[in-house]
Amino acid sequence: MARQIEEDILRSLRRISRAIDVHSRKLVNDLGLTGPQLVVLRTIARVGPLTPSAVAREVSLSQATVTGIIDRLSGRQLVTRERSERDRRLVAVRVTKAGQTLVDSAPSPLQDRFVERLAALPPPEQEQIRGALDQIVTMMGSEDVPAAPVLSTSSAAQSAEEAKDMLAAGETDVSVLAEILPDLDIARPDSKE
């Protein structure tokens, strides 16, 4: 009986991980955007022109990660950066027409569906889920693993762009990225280069 419960729990964890991975790959294939890139783009489109630090606060990611994402979105001409007329030190990020078109046609991020469904549950059930997940994190010894509250794939399954964003922000342990390092334009930490 205990072995069956263990297998059921592990199967559920794999399903969660797989759902995140499948959705992230679909976004990359269909839109050419990672999950975090879509979340940032949708946030800027929804809230209006924002500074990169305000975007970071809105999406609960580090400013370094958001800056990398904005660089990629800007490179694809989905957002623009504009200096403030009042204070030239401030830069606001705006969605372009192409960016708005992409947002309008994009599927809902997996995170949005999850948040909506979680909010629909009574508060005691929300607390039960949080408690159970906290227990799982503790049981896996993962309390010190940094994680932003944005659904994203595991490091090994991420696209190279998403991994670069996270690595640049120091949010992912380099050793965890070992499987995708060959695809990135960086040297391994243990290399002599």
Please give the pLDDT value at position 55.
94
Domain contains 193: no
Please give the pLDDT value at position 143.
79
Domain contains 97: yes
The domain tally of the chain equals 1
Domain contains 105: yes
Domain contains 112: yes
Domain contains 33: yes
Range of the domain at 112: 2-183
Q: What is the CATH number of the domain that holds 121?
A: 1.10.10.10
Domain contains 80: yes
Please give the pLDDT value at position 112.
75
pLDDT per residue as tens, the chain (193 positions): 788 888 998 899 899 888 888 888 888 888 888 888 988 999 999 998 999 999 999 888 888 999 999 999 999 999 999 987 888 788 999 999 999 999 998 887 666 788 889 999 999 999 999 999 899 989 988 877 766 556 654 443 344 555 555 555 444 444 434 443 444 444 444 444 4
Domain contains 81: yes
Confidence (pTM): 0.63
SS3 readout for the chain = CHHHHHHHHHHHHHHHHHHHHHHHHHHHHHHCCCHHHHHHHHHHHHHCCECHHHHHHHHCCCHHHHHHHHHHHHHCCCEEEEECCCCCCCEEEEECHHHHHHHHHCCCCHHHHHHHHHHHCCHHHHHHHHHHHHHHHHHCCCCCCCCCCCCCCCHHHCCHHHHHHHHHCCCCCHHHHHHCHHHCCCCCCCCCC
Burial of 91 (0-12, 13-18, 19+ CB in 10 A): middle
